[in-house]
Copies of this chain bind each other. A is one copy, B any other.
Amino acid sequence: MNAELLARFHGVIPAGGVGTRLWPLSRAAAPKFLHDLTGSGSTLIRATYERLIPLAGNNIMVVTGRVHRTAVLAQLPEVGDLDLVLEPSPKDSAAAIGLAAAILYRRNPETIMGSFAADQVIRPEGVFQVAVREAIHTAATGKIVTIGIRPTLPSTAFGYIRAGERLSVTGAPTARDVVEFVEKPDEDTARGYLADGGYLWNAGMFVAPVALMLKHLERSEPVLYAGLMEIADAWESGDREETMNRIWPDLPKTAIDYAVAEPAAAAGDVAVIPGVFDWDDVGDFAAIGRLNPADENSGVTVVGSSKRVYSDNATGVVVTDSKRVIALIGIHDVVVVDTPDALLVTTKEHAQSVKNTVETLKNQGMMDVL
């Protein structure tokens, strides 16, 4: 890859999303991206940042909630003031990624941004980086490029990308046109997608010229676009925070998929690089079981610092940072999440139901543990 092209690249890490299905580990004050969920020693956001360094150096912007400022800077001390976008309140992905695009555009209209969520697990890094390089090459031809994940099962938890014809891009041998983005399917449809072979999971990874992102954003969400550009105009001047406080609260709340990706695909402006790396969005505690090896002797996966987990004829996942003894007896595929103020006991099979539980606890006013 020529250095000139790579010099245009700027990483963006939207770090939002509590990770409700990982409650009570993840919660408003300690969202998923601030946890080490793979036993790697790194939080997910730190691992995401480090994955981008070989491509972007420290040209990486982070978009997160104001409340997470201290925690994020503790994880990413390299992030400069102008590359740390602090949202006064959650406004969904179009505002977060759109603002990053707008700020980067004002800094340099030739920038190619690469947006990667802060809470995904990707291995091996080298394979990911090859895909991003292909995506940068493809983006430079005037495309919004998503990196789609080769499905390994007929998942109903993800949206899909329907890939079209191969493109002919120097430096991007696997690039393909995108026909459309499709919503999370039912199980039969998902099975069809898997059999078809032409569908990829939408992992929300976008590599694109900021100018093209903004063009589509302006077309489909003009009010949002205008607000974001006004904030971007003030970004490097003194009244950044005042402008943010004034404009942000009234911005429309929508997803980048609706605001940019889908209309851009319809306009023939989207390409995809099939990602052949291992990818996991750590969507629930079953994923934590997959991503962490079980103890050889016990069959139980322990995430956290405790060495005081005892099991007898038991399998499953224990997440704990306490010093408590945890004993599991005669219970299988169990999920136990032990935090100082909340305890979850469920099974891997029911890992997705945790989200409903959090909703119910919210309705019952148990905000102190959410």
Q: Is the CB of A324 within 8 A of B345?
A: no
Q: Tell whether A357 is near chain B: CB-to-CB under 8 Å.
A: yes
Most-contacted residue by chain B among A331, A344, A366 (CB, 10 A): A331
Q: Are A328 and B346 closer than 8 Å at their CB atoms? A: yes
> What sequence of 0s and 1s flags, for each residue 222-248 of chain A, a beta carbon within 8 Å of any chain B beta carbon?
000000000000000000000000000
Set of chain B residues within 8 Å of A340, measured between Cβ atoms: 324
**CB of A170 closer than 8 Å to a CB of B:** no
* Chain A count of residues within 8 A CB distance of the other chain: 36
The answer to whether residues A361 and B331 also contact, given A343-B338, A366-B308 and a CB cut-off of 8 A, is no
- A325 CA / B370 CA spacing, docked (Å): 10
Which has the most chain B C-beta neighbours within 10 Å: A24, A338, A345, A347?
A345
Shortest distance between the CB of A310 and any CB in chain B (Å): 6
Asked whether any CB of chain B lies closer than 8 Å to the CB of A2, the reply is: no
Closest residue of B by beta carbon distance from A318: B345
A345 touches B361 (CB 8 A): no
A325 touches B366 (CB 8 A): yes
Complex-state Cα separation, A24 to B336, whole angstroms? 17
Determine if A24 and B334 form an interchain contact, defined as CB atoms under 8 angstroms apart.
no
Whether the Cβ atoms of B361 and A310 lie closer than 8 Å is: yes
Q: Which residues of B contact A336 (CB under 8 A)?
A: 343, 345
CA gap between A369 and B324 in the complex, in Å? 9
* A330: interface (CB < 8 Å): yes
Give bound CA distance, A284 to B354, whole Å: 30
Instruction: For A334, list chain B residues within 8 Å (CB).
Output: 331, 345
Q: List 8 A-B contacts (CB under 8 A).
A: A308-B366, A310-B360, A325-B369, A327-B357, A329-B347, A329-B350, A330-B349, A331-B334
User: Can you add 7 more A-B contacts, CB < 8 Å, to A312-B353, A331-B347?
Assistant: A308-B366, A325-B361, A328-B346, A330-B346, A330-B350, A330-B353, A336-B343
